[in-house]
Chain A
Amino acid sequence: MLKSLPSAIKDDSATEQLRELRDWLDRHQKECVTTVETWMVRSLPVPTGVIKEVWRDPSWQTALRDAVIVPLDEQGNSQRETAGFLRHGEETRGLGVVTLDGETRWLDPPAITIPHPVLLLELDDFRDFATELHIEQSISQLYRETWPKPAKLEASAKSIDSFSGGTFKQLMHATSRCRTLGYRVSGGYAVTRIWESGRLVEGRFWIGSDAPEVEAETGDLGWVESASNPLTLGEVGPVAFSEGMRMAAAVYAGRFIDEAEAS
């Protein structure tokens, strides 16, 4: 076996093309996972036909396999009793699903949703079952960090300051952390867009808008509707709340901690 590619082959244009193809396939795989996660986070209905068609692409399969799905009927109502792990999709039989009872069922509803874990009533049961079956999801659904709304939340407040005051030696450390985590940075905020109960809500976590090499300090986490209108915490839905907190916590976790601060 060769230790490395001979340079004649390494620099050949065909090799270059193959390398590009490989990179593109990686991106395609990530894109599939991101798309499916968007469907989940926003609780969007997905036509069954779409799932059946994309299933032939291994990248889509990887992204979709073992996601917990809930079939929707013609009226768009959830059929919770047939919710289960998506194992297969094909044109004739429809979607192969393993339900919590351990049964494999073939379903062909008009559409399905991939619910956000906050909305999944039997979350614990699904988790137990997933462990039993050694199921590993590509999307972060069952083991997603969720932040239920605390009972004693001040409903009229418009922001949460639990993650404020985290410092980053340079703002770009914060922005690149956001990017790695998959969050868009807009203005001085890390943002996450959530679709919930008929409206588009944006969670915004302040990371600062100075020059990239200047020290930055995190600020409040808030939610806005239609791009700018701030919502009170009472108005924020459970998914938007959870996703906003998840984002802020993840960004905040990367803050600079001065270990040798004492002297």
Chain B
Amino acid sequence: MTANLLQAGALLPITQKKDSAGDPVSARVYKHEALGGRVVVKLVADNLAPAEDLSLEYLGFSLAEVRGPVARGRRQAVGFPAWALINDPKNGGYALEVVKEMEKIARVARSKPGNAKDQYEGVAGRLAKTVPHFLPTFFEEAGRGFIESGNNAQAATMFAKARDAERVYNLQVDENRRRDVFLEFALAAAMSAGALEDYARELARVHPPKEAYALFRQVCVQRCQGGLPPWAAMADELRSMAAKAGLDKNAEDESVLDELLDAPALAGAAFGFWKAYEKPLIALAHRSPSARGRLLNLHPWPPREAGSFMDWWLKFMESTGAAEALWAPAGTLPKESEPVGGPALWLGKSSSALNKHNWGRGSVAGLMTVLPKMAARLRSDGQPVDLHGTHVHSTSLDLIDLALELRIPLASPGPGYLGLDTWLSGKRSRPLMMLAADEIYGPRLTQALEAYLGRHHADTLIDIPGLRDMVSKWLGACADRFDKGGVIQLEQQLQEVDKFTSPRTFALNIRARDRIAKASAVRALQRSLHGGLIDELGWPALEQARKKLAPGQQGIQMSESWPFLVVTDGAKAIVVGRDNIVLEHDLRLTGHTWGLPSFIYTGAQLLVSWHSRDGLKAYWSGRPAEVFNPQQPPQPMFYGNSVSASFELDDGGRTAGARAVHAGDTKLPAREQMWTARGSGALSISSSDSESRNTTQLPAARSATRGRDFWMSSARMDTTWISSGAGSCPSRPMGRSDLRVLPGSARERSRARAASRSKRRTASRLPARSAGTTSRWRWCACPATSSPARWDLRGRT
């Protein structure tokens, strides 16, 4: 008990005479000229006291009094000079001589590592002449200093020097101490690649084979249990030592593996490790259900491994018998051999590991072979499989298609495009008919296809049965745009058709071809003129604001705070409302600024935010002297491929989908696109919860857009700002309601509020987040198909 207590670092009372384990510890009282009456007390083992005194002397302390011994403590002999003082007290003086110097070097180790190394070597040179057996602990101590300052490479050098000293001076080595130091440096990642092999050789040189093997085996196992993956040649090294020791190779292999299988670090083992141990692992797994379970649940991924590892691993899982648990009916196999969380989770983990490591370019052949065998079990479990993880784009379309054909329950994919381009450029094996016909994946495939067709020729797709129909529909939509668009779109569409289609493409949809052939520039121009040109649309308040600005080189920047627009030239910010200017604010940007500031107007206050050399800064117009870092910049007017939009809530806060910002807030929520509209005006909310992915149609948005086609007729405005929430606005000169968004009327504003309230209601109807997870419902944005509008106000004076 007392020995255990000491090991844990306890101080034992000195009175227990009968048991005298541990070294006496005294309270040493130090004084310092500069500190007056204040003393410093250190609890120090008596045999290490001289070293402590010297270290403190270096700082100008002097020993005033020694009280005690007050307790007994653990004998600490790991470092330097402690090891020297305890193991060779007669020569301890030599160690103490360099203590002050070491203190000094340790101080420069961080800033001048090369310098420190030279100085350490200088000290070592002196020690070598008289007390070479102090060198290993000395260098290790120096190494610890480097580990402390984060310089592992130098620490590894010091470690190597310690081992060199043992060899060069043929020192007697305490193997337990050396093993501990080995593990200490290995686990601190401060060891060079060859050090382990050197260690094996050194052990073999000094010890009989059996002992050498036992020592090395222990280091290998503990190193892995401590969190470092086994290296490729470990098996060879261990086996050759075991052979020399005359041990049974198979039995040794299995006993090593049995100990290693619990270590999570095994998941990062080199491919060579698995190949070397393939046979003994199969033997072990056949005997032990728990070994099968541990292998199955390991989900390993060797570093720098090409895409074929998964195929090898799955075959290996079948030959060990571990894979059995993936398709055997539930409850028929020993529990410890089962996949944790069920086969569905196992499949999800395997698939997302493949996605994660290979960016969709790895071979899915293995999984495609396993999938049919697992299908019955997965169907009867009914637990949805998440094939994607966070990597929707990297998931193999073949795998999804096969899973759909096998009617395996699948979790809906999270946001992101399906990896159509990756699939097209890889080894594809399926026609994607199932994918195209699926009610969740079908639209996602269409989405990916549309994105693809904006960049690539359509003929690459028409030979794939599952995509043919979609290409045909896409052609139909093209034709629609010819029929409905204005003159600018006509030009755009012609270019697109010219670039990405051929007569072969149009063979899929002859009607579309005929409609396009009949498209008339005159009618398109007519539509544009009827709809109105953007220059015809006035916003007197905005023009009035423009007159007050004097843009310099950076021009004018706009920030949205619907229904207000905030314009600035860098000196002044003007908040423009529907009918008049709401606020004029002379900017008070302090210090250096980058670019023009951006704004949020809410609760009748203006948040001014700008980038400076020291990061993001902001203040509220009500308290311009209080400058703070808002963490996030306000959403710019045009963000990525969409126009941002926000609402003011009834309580004066403003939300763009995330937490509302109130006047006076010093922390803005992360940027979040709430929604943007595309073609049909369909919006969806999706959850970013990794466990359940649901895509929900947003009723409020559907009713707001009334299923209208939101394509706009002017190239300069072709990103629709649907967040007006007021799809029922009366028709405007442009034939659509879209521009209406900017200066909204009070009625529209109240409608928008209603929409945002119903948005909140919708959100509250969504499944409650499960406890402990960090899931968050978010408004998923689908990028509009064209680039955002850029207004050039400079040209409009």
| Interface residues of A, Cβ cutoff 8 Å to B | 17-18, 20-21, 24-25, 28, 38, 42, 44-47, 49-50, 53-54, 56-60, 110-111, 158, 162, 165, 185-189, 195, 198-200, 204, 206, 209-210, 219-220, 224, 227-228, 230, 257, 259-263
13 A-B pairs whose Cβ atoms sit less than 8 Å apart in the complex: A20-B59, A20-B107, A21-B34, A24-B59, A44-B9, A47-B71, A49-B14, A162-B772, A187-B265, A199-B4, A209-B228, A228-B222, A262-B781
Q: Mark B259-287, 1 if CB is under 8 A from A, else 0.
A: 00010110010000000000000000000
Contacts of B14 on A, CB cut-off 8 Å?
Answer: 47, 49
B793 within 8 A of A: no
Which partner residue on chain B sits nearest A52 by CB separation?
B70
Alpha-carbon distance A228/B261, docked complex (angstroms): 12
CB-based contact B673/A263 at 8 Å: yes
Q: A198 with B781: in contact, given A49-B70, A187-B226, A260-B671 (CB under 8 Å)?
A: no
Which partner residue on chain B sits nearest A186 by CB separation?
B187
CB-based contact A262/B265 at 8 Å: no
Q: A45 with B41: in contact, given A20-B59, A24-B59 (CB under 8 Å)?
A: no
Nearest-Cβ distance from residue A44 to partner chain B, whole angstroms:
4
CB-based contact B11/A47 at 8 Å: yes
CB-based contact B264/A219 at 8 Å: yes
Q: A206 with B227: in contact, given A49-B70, A188-B264 (CB under 8 Å)?
A: yes
Alpha-carbon distance A158/B262, docked complex (angstroms): 10
CB-based contact A45/B228 at 8 Å: no
CB-based contact A28/B688 at 8 Å: no
Alpha-carbon distance A2/B228, docked complex (angstroms): 55
For the complex of A and B, 5 pairs with smallest distance between CB atoms: A187-B227, A259-B670, A188-B227, A195-B8, A187-B226
| Total of A-B residue pairs, C-beta within 8 Å | 144
Main secondary structure of the interface of A (DSSP, over half): mixed
Extra 5 A-B pairs, beta carbons < 8 Å, given A186-B188, A206-B227: A49-B13, A49-B70, A204-B227, A259-B670, A263-B640
Contacts of A263 on B, CB cut-off 8 Å?
Answer: 415-416, 640, 673, 780-781, 783
Contacts of B40 on A, CB cut-off 8 Å?
Answer: 25, 28, 57, 59
Residue in A17, A187, A188, A262 whose CB lies within 8 Å of B60: A17
Contacts of A57 on B, CB cut-off 8 Å?
Answer: 29, 39-41
CB-based contact A53/B783 at 8 Å: no
Q: A50 with B229: in contact, given A162-B772, A219-B264, A261-B415 (CB under 8 Å)?
A: no
Count of residues in B whose CB is under 8 Å from the partner chain: 64
Nearest-Cβ distance from residue B631 to partner chain A, whole angstroms:
10
CB-based contact A53/B227 at 8 Å: no
B215 within 8 A of A: no
Alpha-carbon distance A198/B223, docked complex (angstroms): 25
B38 within 8 A of A: yes
B507 within 8 A of A: no
Nearest-Cβ distance from residue A208 to partner chain B, whole angstroms:
8
CB-based contact B673/A50 at 8 Å: no
Nearest-Cβ distance from residue A237 to partner chain B, whole angstroms:
13
Contacts of A158 on B, CB cut-off 8 Å?
Answer: 262
Alpha-carbon distance A177/B107, docked complex (angstroms): 23
Q: A209 with B11: in contact, given A21-B32, A189-B227, A263-B673 (CB under 8 Å)?
A: no
Q: Mark B7-26, 1 if CB is under 8 A from A, else 0.
A: 11111111100000000000
CB-based contact B264/A44 at 8 Å: no
Alpha-carbon distance A56/B30, docked complex (angstroms): 11
Residue in B226, B262, B774 whose CB lies within 8 Å of A230: B262
Nearest-Cβ distance from residue A235 to partner chain B, whole angstroms:
15
Nearest-Cβ distance from residue B383 to partner chain A, whole angstroms:
17
Contacts of B268 on A, CB cut-off 8 Å?
Answer: 209-210
Which partner residue on chain A sits nearest B25 by CB separation?
A50
| Interface residues of B, Cβ cutoff 8 Å to A | 1, 4-5, 7-15, 27, 29, 32, 34-35, 38-41, 43, 59-60, 67-68, 70-71, 107, 186-189, 221-223, 225-229, 262, 264-265, 268, 303, 390, 415-416, 640, 670-673, 686, 688, 690, 772, 774, 778-781, 783
Contacts of A59 on B, CB cut-off 8 Å?
Answer: 40
Q: A220 with B264: in contact, given A228-B226, A263-B781 (CB under 8 Å)?
A: yes
Which partner residue on chain A sits nearest B671 by CB separation?
A260
Alpha-carbon distance A18/B70, docked complex (angstroms): 31
CB-based contact A53/B68 at 8 Å: yes
Contacts of B690 on A, CB cut-off 8 Å?
Answer: 165
CB-based contact B9/A38 at 8 Å: yes
Residue in B1, B68, B187, B226 whose CB lies within 8 Å of A198: B1
Nearest-Cβ distance from residue B6 to partner chain A, whole angstroms:
10
Alpha-carbon distance A188/B226, docked complex (angstroms): 7
Alpha-carbon distance A189/B27, docked complex (angstroms): 35
Residue in B107, B265, B416 whose CB lies within 8 Å of A209: B265
Contacts of A17 on B, CB cut-off 8 Å?
Answer: 59-60
Alpha-carbon distance A185/B39, docked complex (angstroms): 34
CB-based contact A206/B264 at 8 Å: yes
CB-based contact B11/A50 at 8 Å: yes
Nearest-Cβ distance from residue A109 to partner chain B, whole angstroms:
10
CB-based contact B228/A228 at 8 Å: no
CB-based contact B228/A187 at 8 Å: yes
Residue in A25, A53, A228 whose CB lies within 8 Å of B70: A53
Alpha-carbon distance A17/B104, docked complex (angstroms): 12
Alpha-carbon distance A41/B470, docked complex (angstroms): 65
Q: A262 with B415: in contact, given A21-B59, A199-B4 (CB under 8 Å)?
A: yes
Contacts of A227 on B, CB cut-off 8 Å?
Answer: 222, 225-226
Point out which of A50, A165, A219 has the most chain B C-beta atoms below 10 A from its C-beta.
Answer: A50
Nearest-Cβ distance from residue A193 to partner chain B, whole angstroms:
8
Alpha-carbon distance A60/B39, docked complex (angstroms): 11
CB-based contact B8/A262 at 8 Å: no
Contacts of B71 on A, CB cut-off 8 Å?
Answer: 47, 49-50
Contacts of A110 on B, CB cut-off 8 Å?
Answer: 13, 15
Alpha-carbon distance A187/B228, docked complex (angstroms): 5
Contacts of B265 on A, CB cut-off 8 Å?
Answer: 187-188, 209
CB-based contact A262/B41 at 8 Å: no
Contacts of B780 on A, CB cut-off 8 Å?
Answer: 262-263
Point out which of A158, A165, A185, A261 has the most chain B C-beta atoms below 10 A from its C-beta.
Answer: A261
CB-based contact A186/B226 at 8 Å: yes
Which partner residue on chain A sits nearest B16 by CB separation?
A110
Contacts of B774 on A, CB cut-off 8 Å?
Answer: 257
Contacts of A210 on B, CB cut-off 8 Å?
Answer: 268, 303
CB-based contact B264/A50 at 8 Å: no
Contacts of B415 on A, CB cut-off 8 Å?
Answer: 261-263
